[in-house]
Amino acid sequence: MKSISQLLKILLPPFAALLLVLINPFQWPLQVVTVLGILLWMLAWWLLETVPMAVTALLPVLLFPLLGVSTMEAACAPYGDKYIFLFLGGFFLALALEKSNLHKRFSLSLVLITGTNASRIILGFMLSSWFISMWISNTATTLMMCPIALAVSNLFHTDEPQHSRSIRHFKLNLFLGIAYASSIGGMATIIGTPPNAAAVGILSQTFHRDISFAEWMLYGAPFSLALLLMSYYVLTSWVFPVRLDKFEKGHAFIQHELQQLGTFSKSEKRMLMVFCAAVFLWLTEGIFKSFYPAYPLSDVWIAMAAGLSLFIINGNKQEAMLQWEDTARLPWGILLMFGGGLSLAMAFKKCGALDMLTTHLASLQGLSADAYLILLCGIGLILTAFMSNLAMVTIFVPVVAALAQTRGIDPLVFAIPVTISASCDFMFPMSTPPNAIAFSSGHVRPAEMLRAGIVLNLISFFLLVLLVLLF
């Protein structure tokens, strides 16, 4: 039987939404206040985690036709948007990367290359986490890297016991670095983190502005790399300085782990070929289409072609690299959340709520476009501290994109920095799954994460300002 608090979490949000519609304090059109009421209901359930987030994302299918916001067909259509299939193809690639162990081989090799100095080992783990999380989820990246980091950190404890504070800082930076780098890497690509794909879908469906894989990386990759390098420097040199010399045992451990993997297996070789082909096509799609404009090559087509090929191409044991059973680990709920966000954005625009909101915000006088965007990025950074980054993007990106249009600016210019700001939350263990995993290692205290996170949040805002001014 549910407790009183659980019942309140379930019942209060729809009651508040109904009250908003009945009272209508600002005398808005009925459809506008209805959509805002549904938005309030969904936001409350997302914040309170009343039911799984994917279940909340299905409310538009139930409520929009019932309340006359849209037809059932229109409410369901966003759940089959093309960008959902882009992410589905990316999920297939991520599953195969993990299954083949190619991601582990890459990360160990990169850590080995960066050297035996304690700070360089941290850099190696951060670079590995950063690159891998561009292509698979930041949660999966952190889960993969933390056991390796734990083994290395345990070796370090026995190697240099006289430098207890520096050893403590080394372990702290190692786990914080992996968590932060995993979140930062996801900013660089469309498939790196759910908010990116959600924003791209909203811009395409609501504002008819398509973004290519390469176009997103033009903005996201430089920002992501700059934030990674600054995070590494600030963590290891300032916030928790590491003053240790060479660490041969860590180097030996990484070598041993690589030897355990053996030579490249057939699955690894073929997975590497599929992965490189997909990345190459994503980055050169624009060039290809300039020569063959009639050919239907797109980011979505490339993702699905690469993903489906994994069910056909044999790996080890003369079986396909992916079996359908493997997709049991695919986060299907994320795809439903994309659909819910897109359906909400569609209704927000159709009912006129988006136009009303942007008209009010656009009435702010005396601000340049740059200053306006910097203000919006600051609001985005604050919002993402109090709600999931996917929910923030779903609600906020349609507003900022519409504001860009009112100023005669490409919606992309406003939407990308605000979307990136959604991933810049480093302060609390509950902020992101990578933060929670790092905290669960036992080497990171909440106060330490807060101390490092505040600094990184400020750096993120500074880099967002630079991104706005440069691009």
Within 10 angstroms of residue 156's Cβ, the number of other Cβ atoms is 22
Closest CA to 315 of 89, 95, 97, 100: 100
Cα-trace Rg, the chain = 23
User: Residues of the chain with pLDDT > 90: what percent?
Assistant: 12
pLDDT of 118-130, one tens digit each?
788 888 889 988 9
Task: Give the list of residues 6+ apart from residue 260 with CB closer than 8 angstroms, or none.
Answer: none
What is the DSSP code (8-state) at residue 320? B
Q: Which residue has the higher pLDDT, 365 or 244?
A: 244
247: left (phi over 0), alpha (psi -120 to 50) or beta: beta
What average pLDDT does range 348-356 have in this prediction?
72
Tens digits of residue pLDDT in 32-52: 899 889 988 987 887 777 888
Cα-based angle 463, 338, 389 (whole degrees, multiple of 5) = 35
Between CA 177 and CA 438 the distance in angstroms is 9
DSSP state letters, 228-242: HHHHHHHIIIIIS--
Which comes out higher in pLDDT, residue 469 or 223? 223
Mean pLDDT of the 445-458 span: 86
- pLDDT (average), residues 394-416: 84
pLDDT at residue 137 is higher than 80:
no
Q: Which two tokens stand for residue 440?
A: 């669960």
Q: Which residues pair with 314 in a beta bridge?
A: 320
Provide the β-strand partners of residue 117.
246
**Residue 206: φ, ψ to 5°:** -90, -35
Question: Does position 245 have pLDDT exceeding 80, yes or no?
Answer: no
How does pLDDT run across 149-165, given as a tens digit for each residue?
776 776 655 444 556 77
Give the three-state DSSP class for 250: helix
Q: pLDDT of 248-306, one tens digit each? A: 666 677 777 778 888 888 888 898 899 888 888 887 777 777 777 777 777 788 889 98
Q: Is the pLDDT of residue 387 over 70?
A: no
Q: Would the CA dihedral through 325, 337, 16, 28 be positive or negative?
A: negative
Closest CA relative to residue 250, chosen from 111, 101, 110: 111
Question: What mean pLDDT is predicted for residues 185-213?
Answer: 85
What pLDDT does residue 158 have?
Answer: 46
Q: What is the mean pLDDT of residues 341-362?
A: 72
pLDDT score of 88 more than 90: no
Q: Retrieve residue 462's tokens.
A: 């500074």
Residue 370 has pLDDT above 60, yes or no: yes
Average pLDDT over the chain, rounded to whole?
A: 81
Output the CA–CA distances (angstroms, integers) from residue 141 to 270, 309, 384, in the order listed.
Answer: 21, 23, 21
Residue among 65, 183, 199, 59 nearest 132 (CA): 183
8 pLDDT more than 80: yes
Given this model, what pLDDT does residue 61 score? 93
Q: What is the pTM of this model?
A: 0.71
The pLDDT assigned to 248 comes to 62
Distance between CA 274 and CA 266 in Å, rounded?
12
Task: Specify the pLDDT at position 386.
Answer: 58
Whether 430 has a pLDDT exceeding 80, the answer reads no
Lowest mean pLDDT among 188-202, 212-226, 240-254: 240-254
Task: Count Cβ atoms below 10 Å from residue 449 Cβ, excluding itself.
Answer: 23
Q: CB–CB of 251/112 below 8 Å?
A: yes
